[in-house]
Structure 1
Amino acid sequence: MLRVHCTVEDLLNVTVAARPAPLVELGLAFEMLQRQDGHPAFSPWRQRMARTLPRTARPLLQLVSPLGAGPLFLDPPSHDLDEGMDMVLSTSGKHARDELRRMCSIDRPLTPWVRQLANRDRGAWQILEQAVRSAHAGVIADAWPRIRAGFHAETAWLSYAIARRGLRAALTGLAPSVRWRGMTLEAGFPRSLDFTLQGRGIILQPTLFWADHLLAALQPDGRLLLLYPAVTPLPLRDDLTSHDPIAALVGTTRAHALRLLVQQHTTTDLARELDVSPAAASMQAKTLREAGLIVSQRDGKAVWHWCTPLGMDLLAHGSK
């Protein structure tokens, strides 16, 4: 369980990230690459990455966990690759040792290269720099326009949701398991993790490479970075930029489905209207349901779907 113990000052200092961070997305991509139980949309992407990932990038697999964890020095929220690499390479010996020890205590192997990194061996850190740059070129660079477009669609919707529904409802909508207990934000997590904040605030940042629980990390300035999965992960985003603001957020097919579900439809009806298989229609409905945009109810052998007030609100806002 993840628990974030907030003060009033923390909630008054909640902000939304202004831009995606390339090394944050890269770290999450390597975590998702190792998962077999993540969002089904990532399966073809994982298979492709397994074939095309540069050999020089593979040392990063020794550092990041499929549980959604990696050494904090590896993915600073930098504006670009070069700034991020400068921050990675300036990591102090103590911070590197502490983070590598933490990762090994979770599930990473203590390999000879990891030992060398902990000892600040120059050659080991040169291998790390080459791995990060090679991974960025092979995984992030070509997809960056789609990542950036998806990020801005997500943050625009989150900002609107905060203004329209309030901070409490917007935060509980970040992932299915999120809930409040008094001033403590709780969410499902693979291990016990507690943060007691001191009034510095929270940064909310969507990621297009993660499709599971919330992720959290304290920043050097004392703020908590909360990473949450985008409604539409990168493999499901359209290659072409859409002029439809709702499609920019949830993807063209889900935008069409959401508009259809202003009226109740069964999964079979939805599949027929979308011209997809029932299994595909069910997956689209699941994504919209987990985002809080529709609800579903079984009636005998049929499953009926229809818009929630939030879904209707999104449609109304997107048509303006």
Structure 2
Amino acid sequence: MSIAERPAPLVELTLAMQTLQRRDPGPAFVPWRERVARRLPAQGKPLLQLVSPSGAGPMFLDPPSRTVEEGLDRVRSAPRAEVRAELRRVCAIDRPLTSWTKGLARQDREAWRVLDEAIRTGYRTVLAERWHSLRAGFDAETAWRAKILARQGIHALFASLGPAVRWNGLTLEADCPRDLDLTLHGHGIIVRPTLLWSGHPLVAYYPDRPTTLLYPALTPLPLLNPERPADPLAGLLGATRARALRSLVGGRTTTGLARELSVSVASASLHTKTLREAGLIVSHRDGKAVCHRCTPLGLDLLAAETV
């Protein structure tokens, strides 16, 4: 079991398109929905034909990825059988079966060009200007959940997600509109907060990789400060070490941290040494690698950024 390290652009875009169509998006989302609906250009509206407001998918449309381009590559490379099966599934639930949807199913080049443009337009219109706020809210949420996991364990973490998620003996239950009985087959589960959804948890099941449990963050995106805030943590630690501390919420090796920060391994090692001496991270050797993770003090410092 793990907590997602960062928000995924296409996951958040799909959730935004779902919330945009919901009749009960939650009071915080009502003015946001009206504003986005007015701004969304015609090129982005084909997404509304694909994305169900019930949170049902289609799953090939929102692969976890670091960037929009990486996500688009994964969407384009989705197996044809998976695309067709997902389109059949969502059309059977509540999506219209249109000539464009049929074109996607048969891999028509023009239909997929329209999808590519819709995703790019949707991201630019709905998320690009607020991505920094969304990332800050996501990091604060995951830092808090990671602290619960570290101090109280996995049962307390899932209990903290609200009454819709609970344990029944050794079985984890979540209130969802559809009846699902999932076995993880040793692949585990990733807990991923979202600032663009309210209500019941969402489950993305993959037979060959970890299942994802998406849940609404305590503070939704419309309630976050839309302005890019100053970074008091950078003023305290320095910009690079502040980034390093945020990156170590979920744990990383020195090499992984260097790659994340785009610095040398030697430089990453010096930053971890400073953070470790300040009591903000702990380090341990795992074979030839050295792994680092935030301490409760480090998590408290990160959580205080949004207070």
Seq. identity, %: 54
1:249 matched residue in structure 2 = none
Out of 122, 128, 135, the residue aligned to residue 141 of structure 1 is 128
What is the CA deviation profile of residues 98-147 of structure 1, one whole-angstrom value per residue up to 9, with x for unaligned ones? Answer: 11011112211111111111111111001000100010110111111011
Out of 90, 110, 115, the residue aligned to residue 77 of structure 2 is 90
**Higher relative contact order at CA 8 Å, sep ≥6: structure 1 or structure 2?**
1
Q: Secondary structure at the residue paired with 2:181?
A: strand
1:152 matched residue in structure 2 = 139
- More displaced stretch, 105-114 vs 80-89: 105-114
Q: Which amino acid aligns with 2:23?
A: Q
Let me know the Cα RMSD of the aligned residues.
2.0
Structure 1 residues without counterparts, runs of 5 or longer: 1-13, 246-313
Q: Secondary structure at the residue paired with 1:82?
A: helix
Q: Measure the CA separation in 1 of the matches of 2:127 and 2:91.
A: 26
2:18 matched residue in structure 1 = 31
Q: Which amino acid aligns with 1:143?
A: R
Alignment of 1:270-281 (within 5 A): none
CA contact (8 A) 2:196 2:220 kept: yes
1:64 matched residue in structure 2 = 51
2:93 matched residue in structure 1 = 106
Compute the displacement of 1:244 (Å).
8.8
Out of 8, 18, 23, the residue aligned to residue 21 of structure 1 is 8
Q: Secondary structure at the residue paired with 2:18?
A: helix
Q: Is 1:189 aligned to residue 176 of structure 2?
A: yes
Compute the displacement of 1:230 (Å).
0.6
Out of 104, 128, 142, the residue aligned to residue 117 of structure 1 is 104
TM-score where L is the length of structure 2: 0.73
What is the CA deviation profile of residues 155-176 of structure 1, one whole-angstrom value per residue up to 9, with x for unaligned ones? Answer: 1000001122221121022133
Q: Measure the CA separation in 1 of the matches of 2:203 and 2:172.
A: 12
Change (3 A) 1:69 1:91: same
Q: Which amino acid aligns with 1:132?
A: I
Q: Is 1:76 aligned to residue 66 of structure 2?
A: no
- More displaced stretch, 60-69 vs 234-243: 234-243
2:41 matched residue in structure 1 = 54
Structure 2 residues without counterparts, runs of 5 or longer: 234-299
CA contact (8 A) 1:175 1:213 kept: no
CA contact (8 A) 2:130 2:226 kept: no
Change (3 A) 1:244 1:191: farther
Compute the displacement of 1:187 (Å).
1.6
Compute the displacement of 1:242 (Å).
7.2
Aligned residues: 237
Q: Measure the CA separation in 1 of the matches of 2:80 and 2:226.
A: 42
